[in-house]
Amino acid sequence: MENMPTQELEELRYISYESQDAIGYITLNRPDKRNALSYDVVAELKQAFEVAEDDEHCKVIVLRAVGDVFCAGTDLASIQEQALQGVGYPDHLSDSAHLMQLFHQIYTLKKIVIGQVQGHALAGGCGLATICDFAFTVPDAQFGYTEVKLGLLPAIVSVFLVRKIGEARTKQLLLTGDVISAQLAADFGLVNFLVPKEELADNVYRFARRLCVENSGQSMEITKEMLARLPDMALEDSLRYAAQLNAEARSSNDCRRGVEAFLNKEKIAWD
């Protein structure tokens, strides 16, 4: 399938989107600012993820970036400008809610999101990598939630990070603000796969295609939603919820297709 730019996103300045082979690529394209997250960049990311979620040609989403840095976090120049303008709490709250909505959107998105982290991911940029369902990175990339070194807080990402890697490691990373290696990020569970830089794009593509071909999109969507909801449920409620989902899945067309193919010793291609 040829690359298919989405018309609704053609006018965006900092983000590009295209779908190919059932993979939707959202690309941060602000390398001169190290792909920093300004208000406008976050707005364009939110729009791109919305379009990707509705794109019938896209089954799995890859978030990637142009340049040597994946994302350097919040655009500090904009924070400084706000300080000079005397911007107060209501506007800061609006900005924070804006980023919170993006992280929540990615975390609850119906489609799987894979981070292709080709360079450093720091502060909010590290949060962006963290929120992906899977993340690939390269040996020389560095990761860190450096907000405490600047008088800021890693507040929004903390909600998701403690779910992902546990309280002890979350405290270690957020309270120290230390920048860590890609290998340690992998050891901590921040990223899933560490691959040579020249093989990054191919590895991400092959993994995304495997999800597209081997897995039911409906099953992945429901499983992702289930995993997001379970931590907030009491044990008995979570078990009832899981049993309900199990029953619903057994009644689905995807289940009928999958079981029939397995029993007939046929290989099913889900995309």
Residues acting as catalytic residues? 147
Q: Which of 167, 124, 164 is nearest to 144 (CA)?
A: 124
In sequence order, what DSSP letters do the residues of 90-143 get, joined into one string?
HHHHHHHHHHHHHHHHHHH-SSEEEEEE-SEEETHHHHHHHHSSEEEE-TT-EE
For the record, the structure tokens of 42 come out as: 């976050």
Q: Rounded CA gap, 178 and 144, in Å?
A: 6
Q: Are 212 and 265 in contact (CB under 8 A)?
A: no
Residue 122 CA to residue 150 CA, distance in Å, equals 12
d(CA 214, CA 126): 30
C-beta of residue 55 within 8 angstroms of C-beta of residue 201:
no
DSSP code for 24: E
